[in-house]
Amino acid sequence: MGNTRAQNGNFRMDGKVAIITGAGSGIGEAIALRFAANGAAVRIVDNNSQRGEVTAQKICDAGGTASVHACDVTDQSQVRRTFGEICGKDRVAILVNNAGISHIGTVETTTEDDFDRVFRVNVKGVYNGTQACIPHMKSNGGGVILNMASIAGSAALADRFAYSMSKGAVVAMTYSVAKDYLAYNIRCNCISPARVHTPFVDDYLQKNYPGREKEMYEKLAKSQPVGRMGKPEEVAALALFLCSDEASFLTGVDYPLDGGFFNLRG
């Protein structure tokens, strides 16, 4: 984190409190670490409090400030209670709706239970967090909301029916919130990454391609025109900029972070 602080000194968040959902691992963890390295007090909201504690400990060990709040983003009552507790103590300036799950399947192979689960986490979870946080931001003169979408929300990906549906909804919610809350000084953007190398990718390869993990990883990595997967830290770097004061003129935008996938595919 010391190096991160030096690399990103222009995008300071001193004195700001940021809620980040799903910050116990992967992209959410990387965002939490990057924000804390730039001065933010991070509130980690995750349904796995043990993973959240690991992230918080990394932040605190590096001299940052973080706390962990166990919460299932699909449960509106839990979200309202958790966000109410945080906002009752802190003036929250930033919300990152990062918590999400993936799913593999076509419309025929996606069960109703699978579809509902993806919708609850990826769509309702964003709705719950945003709805709980916006009144607080309105009363405090504004804020920034960043949603984690995916290129699957705007580009055709095979066997990603439910996941693509959910991320398309996240993009649409981003535009709607940005439009509705301009007058309240609340900015709302989203990031649409392509494949990013997270623990989910490793678990997926181990489960579905035992003994062929390296081969299949290379195949997936090379599906991006730049020839590799993204890194969680690269998503975090864009998140830092979009939630910083330097991005105060930006709202209502879906930012692809895809190694050229959307526009440069052959």
What residues are annotated to the active site? 163
Q: List C-alpha distances in Å: 1 to 38, 62, 102, 219, 244.
A: 9, 6, 29, 32, 18
| Residue 128 · residue 79 · CB < 8 Å | yes
CA distance 179 to 61: 40
Please enumerate in sequence order all residues whose Cβ is within 8 A of that of 208, keeping only pairs 6 or more positions apart, or say none. Answer: 216
Query: Which of 239, 230, 219 is CA-nearest to residue 260?
Result: 230
Tokens, residue 30? 């990387």
**183: DSSP letter:** G
For residues 42-64, one letter each, b for 16 or more C-beta atoms within 10 angstroms of the residue's C-beta and e for the rest, the string is bbbbbbebebbbebbebbeeeeb
Q: Which residue has the tokens 């993204």?
A: 230
Residue type, 84: G
| Residue 98 · residue 31 · CB < 8 Å | yes
CA distance 236 to 60: 18
**69: DSSP letter:** E
CA distance 266 to 256: 18
